Amino acid sequence: MIVAMKYVVKLIIYLVAILAIAGAGAWLYGKITGNPQENMQTGQARIDGIRQMVSLCTLEIEDDIALRDSIHGKWLLAKVRLSGQVRFDLEQLDCKMHGDTLVVRLPKETVVVREATSPGAYEIIDTWDNTLLGLGKLTTAEENTLKRRMTARYREEIYRRGYVARARSTAVATLRQLTSALPTPTVIVDP
Amino acid sequence: MRIKVFFISAIVALGAFTSCRESAVEMEDPAVEVVSELRRVNRLSLAEMSINKVGTISDSGATGFASLLNMLKVGDRIGVYSYHTYLEAYMDLDALDAADLEVYQDRRLVKLRLPAIQVRLSGRDATVTEEHYRVTGMRSTISPVERAQLKELMNTTLRQELKSTDEYGERLRANAREKAVGYFSALLQMMGYDSEITFK
């Protein structure tokens, strides 16, 4: 009886060991040969809305930037391709007659910063956790916070580099040139 | 002649209100190696479409070896994410020249031929929305690398969808034409002229 039980226990141990080895082998094989996108599916694109506008884009910037930032001790290092645009809303043009002179005020610009849509526009190089156990992964909310900070920094950089000032001054100069043919005297104001 | 110059100036100036004039490099050309690029454009945007794309990281829909591997794992792992991509309809104001404007002073009528409406991808949200997240048992949490891979996959499939059908582009162009006609006819009306607006 005891001999039989020993035999059964041995058999169970062998079976568990075989299963464990097979499982580990399958996991390793999957890690080496598997495509990480096998677990991923995408749905059909859906139109969320259409916005009509009359917006003039005068300057476009595209940059590959390194995002290196942390939140709650968790770090992210990524390469991001950003696209920035300086736009003017022509529906907000302020044109007023002062005596016989037409005064046109250049509207406030809008700086639009988005991630580019070209392939590989967002590539993560490394992520790590500097906290005590060092096991945490960035959550979606944390990653989004880092990206919002990046976008805000990039928008400031566009102003700091003088791109907006350049776009505005060129717009004013060209407008002056274009309106010089008008029979009405025109003054372009950049508030 | 004087009135013609006036109209050309007025439409280009008030309509365009722009300055910069330089050949635009196609933003979407993957062959263009971009590190940092600044370009001047002369583009009048008339409509923008927001397209939502949803992607899933899930065991249940897995294919190939991943589906077999998932059977050995304890617990569930599913994450659903979405983000917006923007499609823009615009006209290149550099393509607008003096011959595109005809003024019939006696009939108080202006015939304007605007540049063709073009459509391009203007960018996407940097952030993603987490629509659903459930990781149980001994499964590992979904990592930023996986989310980035999913976003890349979503971007690839979206571009394929946009290539395969012009449904999105056509709808957007119709909106852009409507806006352009409305804007320029109102502008001319303000100057006391009726208008006939067509597109190249």
The ipTM value here is 0.78
pLDDT at B62: 66
Mind telling me how many Å the CA of A4 is from chain B's nearest CA? 30
* Alpha carbon distances (Å) from B171 to B76, B87, B89, B177, B197: 41, 11, 10, 10, 19
| Selected residues 91-120 of chain B with any CB under 8 Å from a CB in chain A | none
One DSSP character per residue, A124-155 reads EEEEEE-SSS------HHHHHHHHHHHHHHHH
Q: Per the domain annotation, does A14 fall within a domain? A: no
* Residues of chain A scoring pLDDT < 70: 23, 26-36, 174-175, 177-184
Q: Are B106 and B81 in contact (CB under 8 A)?
A: no
Give which of A79, A117, A138 to mutate to test B binding, by max B Cβ within 10 Å: A117
Residue A129 lies in a domain: yes
Burial class (CB within 10 angstroms; exposed 0-12, middle 13-18, buried 19+) of A8 = exposed
Instruction: With respect to residue A7, please indicate whether it lies within any of the assigned structural domains.
Output: no
Q: What is the pLDDT of residue A113?
A: 96
What residue type is assigned to position A180 of the chain? S
Six-digit token string for A15: 């079976």
Distance CA A120, CA A186 (A): 48
Report angle CA B63, B66, B69 to the nearest 5 degrees.
135
Contact yes or no for A179/B13 (Cβ under 8 A): yes
- CA-wise closest residue to B39 among A59, A109, A160: A59
Residue A162 lies inside a defined structural domain of this protein: yes
Chain A's closest residue to B159, CA to CA, is A117
The answer to whether A78 faces chain B, any CB pair under 8 Å, is: yes
* Torsion region of A134: left, alpha or beta (phi above 0 gives left; psi -120 to 50 gives alpha): left
CB-based contact B101:B132 (threshold 8 Å): no
Judge whether A60 and A82 are in contact, CB under 8 Å.
Answer: no
Quote the number of domains for chain B: 1
From first to last of its 200 residues, chain B has per-residue pLDDT tens of 444 444 444 544 444 333 333 332 333 434 334 456 788 777 889 999 999 999 999 887 666 666 667 777 788 899 999 999 999 999 987 787 878 888 888 888 889 899 999 999 999 999 999 999 999 988 889 999 999 999 999 999 999 999 998 899 999 999 999 999 998 888 788 778 889 999 98
Q: Would you say residue A92 lies in a domain?
A: yes
Instruction: Tell me the two tokens of residue A108.
Output: 């406030």
Which among B53, B126, B172 is the nearest to A50, CB-wise? B172
Q: Cα(A22)–Cα(B147) distance, rounded to whole angstroms?
A: 29
In chain A, residues 119-178 whose CB comes closer than 8 Å to chain B: 119-124, 127, 137-141, 143-144, 147-148, 150-151, 163, 167, 170-175, 178
Tell me the C-alpha distance between B175 and B172, whole Å: 5
Cα first-last separation, chain A: 99
With an 8 Å Cβ cutoff, are A78 and B37 in contact? no
Assess if residue A10 is contained within a domain: no
Q: Rg of chain A's alpha carbons, rounded to an integer?
A: 30
Write out the residue range of the structural domain in which residue B108 sits.
2-199
Strand partners, B83: B53
CA–CA separation, A147 and A144 (whole Å): 5
Strands A101-105 and A94-98 come out as antiparallel
* CB contact at 8 A, A50 and B56: no
Which pLDDT belongs to residue B172? 96
- At A32 the pLDDT is 60
- A-B contacts at Cβ under 8 angstroms: 285
Angle between helices A163-179 and A140-160 (to 10 degrees): 50
Asked whether residue A12 is assigned to any structural domain, the reply reads: no
Looking at residue A142, its pLDDT comes to 96
Q: Is residue A132 part of a domain?
A: yes
Residue B1 sits at the chain A interface (C-beta within 8 Å): no
In the DSSP assignment, the letter for residue B17 is -
Domain count within chain A? 1
CA–CA distance, B15 with A189 (Å, rounded to integer): 17
| pLDDT for the residue numbered A124 | 95
Best to test chain B binding among A21, A56, A76, A170 (most B CBs inside 10 Å): A56
> Residue A93 has what pLDDT?
78
Q: How far apart are CA A106 and CA B17, in angstroms?
A: 8
Q: Report the alpha-carbon distance of residue B200 to residue A115 in Å, rounded.
A: 32
Give the pLDDT of residue A100.
80
The Cα angle at residue A58 between residues A57 and A60, in degrees rounded to 5: 85
